[in-house]
Amino acid sequence: MHARLKGLIVDIFKDANLPEIEPQLREIPFEGQMGLALSNLFQIARVSKPDLEKDELKKYAGTLADLIAEKIRNTGDFEKVEAVKGYVNCFFKPQQFTRELLGRILGDGTDWARMESHGGRVMIEYSQPNTHKAFHIGHVRNAVTGASLVRCYRYAGRDTIAANYYGDIGSHVFKALWYLGKYHPDLKDAPDGVAERGKWLGEIYADAQKKLTDSENLLNQVWEILKPLNKILYNAYGSDEATFGLYTLPFNVRGIARNEEDLFEGRSNNDVIKIVDWMASQAKELRRRAGDIRIEPFGDLDWVNADTLLLNLNQIRSQSDYHQRLNRPIEVLDIANRWKIGDPKLLDLYNETRQWSFDDFKRIYNEIGVEFDVEFKESEVEREGLLIAIDLEKQGIVVDSMGAAIVEIDNQLKKRFGEPMQDKYRVLVLVREDGSSLYGSKDLALAKLKFEEYGIDESIYVVGNEQKFYFQQLFQVLRLMGFPQWERCFHLSYELVMLPGGKISSREGQVVLYDDVISELRDRALSVVKEKNPGLDDEIKVKISEIVAMGALIFGMLRVDTNKVIRFDFDEVLDFDGRSAPYIQYAGARAMSILRKAESEGIETPNDIALSDFNRELLPVEIELVKILNKLPEHIIKVVEDKKPFYLTNYAYDLAVKFSDFYHQCPVLTSEETVRRDRLLLVKAVRINIETSLGLLGIATPDVM
């Protein structure tokens, strides 16, 4: 209809010698009216008569509208055509439109809007949880966003591979393993049960992090003392360092007195302990000989402060757990080294606990209805990542920088593609100074795998907003590597889920766990079901509450734009009224209820459209309902185009609102027979569209609520 009207208008323009501007058609925005409006007549008027005054222009646009309306009216295709306020409104014949639409919906059910396959193969990578860490509500946002996008892509006819990429190696794993080895040898006190073990591991990581944060704080404390102390020492000793025994120090500790910025730079905690010891002794020595040395006080750092500093430092050093606390990071490094040489005992611990994480993730995915076709692991691409780095070095794309392998991206873009030098993509480090791999090299290996082994043309990464810059870098490096697909790599970034107290952080122990949220939701849902529908079997009640709880969670995570921060409010998520999944599910349940009752009363519920259907004046609510039923496909197309699943939450909600409106205004079963037949058809179509749109979001529609 859209295309036909457009063609018609183009012809009219031509006949009237109007400029060749594409006519813009939009839906007539009035309630209870169905049709299309030509909306850019002003533009056409302006182009065709550029010199008109404002008022004249309006008048002219009005004349054009009259002219065009007259011609369209003469075709007889529309029920009514009117020119008003510079628009040409073309009203459809709603009966015919409705028959056609409902015929399609009832004919194909939830597949009615499914699109023909087109476009290349796309991989959507999402979820990417780290093993040995807790699965929190932020992970849920990622998972349900990715999963619903996959469903929409497929529905829209795209060959889509859903991929996960587990963070099963890296410093977080070493930290957890360190803590496990130290405080839970042989995993003796680990609980049984998939969920329990997952939770336990998450707590282990949090505890490890707490201890390491404590160490870090201690280090900072020491640093805050050392910094001014260093300055005092340097000022006192100047360049005459030999006199004071600098050379008795280990080589790597030398020179600290010269540059405070580098005091801790690149040093292990072992070094730090040595530095502290040395500084303390030197300060003491200096204090002893203070009478002999001329001190030039600077800033607020005078001798009084130096004495205080020294006192504080010695106080810290004399704490019984001082060494132990500063040693923790060294122990974690030791774990990393044992990992490198493949210590079998450590590997056993790793494999066992990693599996616990995998099992628990699988359990959660199962609950939230998320599936993957391929599951990558960081551990599997690590080696290949290092090889790629070596290869790139041979090609001159990667260069050495203080032992690390880096890509100077802006340089390379200039060199290889002659692009003007800019300071945009900066530097990406692929391999650490110590030769160990980094996320960058692993992602390159993974991308290569995706392009070459899976033959994809398009690659989508569903990853948090904070990694935006990194992905820009990554895609540029893929370009430098000569992958033509680099242009069709897309970072679908989403904002974080924040708590009233700030960022969710498993490091700081400020987390809202998935399990805690969903169990709260289930409890609440169950009590509401019991209250609203006490007559149901207990088993059914539980089933419904499951569906409602999960719907509320998923909808809560999807209902706002991905680039908007979600401030997680428990009360809001628990609220099943208004703009929520339960509201929409309820509309679906009511629709089903009507159909059920019709059947039990022996009323025929038609599956096919007859020419006699909808042969009456439709009520505005009915027309509104038909209009929104028609809009499902365009919403799915938009989701895919913009990669924003939340459009579909808007659609599902709007549909439910319209249906509620209809429900209250239009009795179905008690209506006169032909009207009843029409409305039963409408109700069926509504139920199908609710199921389809919620289904694409990963939300089920219960028959009863």
Partner RNA sequence: GCGCCAGUAGCUCAGGGGAUAGAGCAACGGCCUUCUAAGCCGUGGGUCGCAGGUUCGAGACCUGCCUGGCGCGCCA
Q: Taking CB under 7 A as the criterion, which residues in 62-101 touch RNA?
A: 84-87, 89
Q: In the sheet that 502-503 helps form, which strands lie side by side, from edge to edge?
A: 502-503, 497-499, 566-567
Residues 193-232 that bind RNA (CB under 7 A): none
Q: With contacts defined by CB under 7 A, name the span among 208-216, 240-248, 447-455, 581-589 that binds RNA.
A: 581-589
- Per DSSP, helices labelled H in 238-343 are 269-288, 303-318, 322-340
| Element of type H or E holding 6 | helix 2-15
Residues 595-624 that bind RNA (CB under 7 A): 597
The reply to whether 403 sits near RNA by the rule CB under 7 A is yes
Least separation in angstroms between residue 449's CB and RNA is: 15
Q: Find, among 627, 623, 624, 645, the residue nearest to 636 by Cα.
A: 645
Q: Considering CB under 7 A, how many residues would be counted as binding RNA?
A: 99
- CA distances 97 to 79, 80, 111, Å, are 11, 14, 20
Least separation in angstroms between residue 704's CB and RNA is: 4
The reply to whether 6 sits near RNA by the rule CB under 7 A is no
Choice from 413, 646, 696, 697 touching RNA (CB under 7 A): 646
Residues 375-394 that bind RNA (CB under 7 A): 378
The reply to whether 162 sits near RNA by the rule CB under 7 A is no
Closer CB to RNA, 478 or 668, in the complex: 668
Choice from 24, 95, 270, 510 touching RNA (CB under 7 A): 24
Type of residue at 543:
K
Choice from 274, 503, 510, 606 touching RNA (CB under 7 A): 503
The reply to whether 525 sits near RNA by the rule CB under 7 A is yes
Closer CB to RNA, 95 or 379, in the complex: 379
The reply to whether 586 sits near RNA by the rule CB under 7 A is yes
Q: Find, among 435, 436, 438, the residue nearest to 427 by Cα.
A: 438
Query: Does residue 666 come out as left (phi exceeding 0), alpha (psi in the -120 to 50 range) or beta?
Result: beta
Q: With contacts defined by CB under 7 A, name the span among 23-31, 148-156, 339-347, 363-371 that binds RNA.
A: 23-31
Q: With contacts defined by CB under 7 A, name the span among 191-199, 295-303, 352-360, 628-636 that binds RNA.
A: 628-636
Least separation in angstroms between residue 315's CB and RNA is: 31
Closer CB to RNA, 233 or 338, in the complex: 338
β-pairing verdict for 427-431 and 489-494 = unpaired
Least separation in angstroms between residue 241's CB and RNA is: 26
Closer CB to RNA, 249 or 346, in the complex: 346
**DSSP 8-state symbol, 372:** -
Residues 168-197 that bind RNA (CB under 7 A): 170-172
Choice from 564, 604, 607, 674 touching RNA (CB under 7 A): 564
β-pairing verdict for 427-431 and 404-408 = antiparallel
Least separation in angstroms between residue 467's CB and RNA is: 4
Q: With contacts defined by CB under 7 A, name the span among 26-34, 208-216, 612-620, 684-692 that binds RNA.
A: 26-34
Residues 117-156 that bind RNA (CB under 7 A): 128, 130
Q: In the sheet that 374-377 helps form, which strands lie side by side, from edge to edge?
A: 374-377, 159-166, 121-125, 458-464, 489-494
Q: How far apart are CA 168 and CA 555, in angstroms?
A: 29
Choice from 496, 542, 619, 675 touching RNA (CB under 7 A): 496
Closer CB to RNA, 309 or 444, in the complex: 444
Q: Find, among 454, 513, 554, the residue nearest to 202 by Cα.
A: 513
Please identify which residue in the block is written with the tokens 């056409």: 44
Choice from 15, 17, 54, 188 touching RNA (CB under 7 A): 54
Using DSSP's 3-state secondary structure scheme, residue 29 falls into coil
Least separation in angstroms between residue 219's CB and RNA is: 15
| Residue 589 tokens, joined | 């349940």
Q: How far apart, in Å, do the first and last CA atoms of the chain sit?
A: 39
Least separation in angstroms between residue 233's CB and RNA is: 27
Using DSSP's 3-state secondary structure scheme, residue 567 falls into strand
Please identify which residue in the block is written with the tokens 């160990």: 436
Choice from 465, 488, 509, 695 touching RNA (CB under 7 A): 465
Closer CB to RNA, 246 or 544, in the complex: 544
Choice from 559, 643, 677, 687 touching RNA (CB under 7 A): 559
Closer CB to RNA, 278 or 494, in the complex: 494
Closer CB to RNA, 57 or 187, in the complex: 57
Type of residue at 308:
T
| Residue 127 tokens, joined | 């979820």
Residues 661-700 that bind RNA (CB under 7 A): 661, 663-664, 666-670
The reply to whether 339 sits near RNA by the rule CB under 7 A is no
Q: How far apart are CA 97 and CA 136, in angstroms?
A: 47
User: What burial class does residue 412 get, using C-beta atoms within 10 Å of its C-beta: 0-12 exposed, 13-18 middle, 19+ buried?
Assistant: buried
Least separation in angstroms between residue 248's CB and RNA is: 28
- CA distances 514 to 131, 191, 336, 611, Å, are 15, 19, 30, 52
User: What burial class does residue 260 get, using C-beta atoms within 10 Å of its C-beta: 0-12 exposed, 13-18 middle, 19+ buried?
Assistant: middle
Q: Find, among 401, 426, 516, the residue nearest to 140 by Cα.
A: 516
Choice from 146, 167, 329, 369 touching RNA (CB under 7 A): 167
| Residue 123 tokens, joined | 């991989």
Q: How far apart are CA 429 and CA 439, in angstroms?
A: 9
**DSSP 8-state symbol, 619:** P
Binding mask 420-449 for RNA (x = CB under 7 A): ---x--xx-x--xx----xx----------
Choice from 114, 274, 317, 579 touching RNA (CB under 7 A): 579
- CA distances 414 to 420, 425, 440, Å, are 6, 12, 21
| Residue 164 tokens, joined | 């996960």
Q: How far apart are CA 649 and CA 585, in angstroms?
A: 12
Closer CB to RNA, 165 or 483, in the complex: 165
The reply to whether 4 sits near RNA by the rule CB under 7 A is no
The reply to whether 468 sits near RNA by the rule CB under 7 A is yes
Residues 251-290 that bind RNA (CB under 7 A): none
The reply to whether 575 sits near RNA by the rule CB under 7 A is yes
Least separation in angstroms between residue 89's CB and RNA is: 5
The reply to whether 454 sits near RNA by the rule CB under 7 A is no
Closer CB to RNA, 483 or 646, in the complex: 646
Nearest 10 degrees: Cα torsion 509, 511, 517, 519: -20
The reply to whether 635 sits near RNA by the rule CB under 7 A is yes
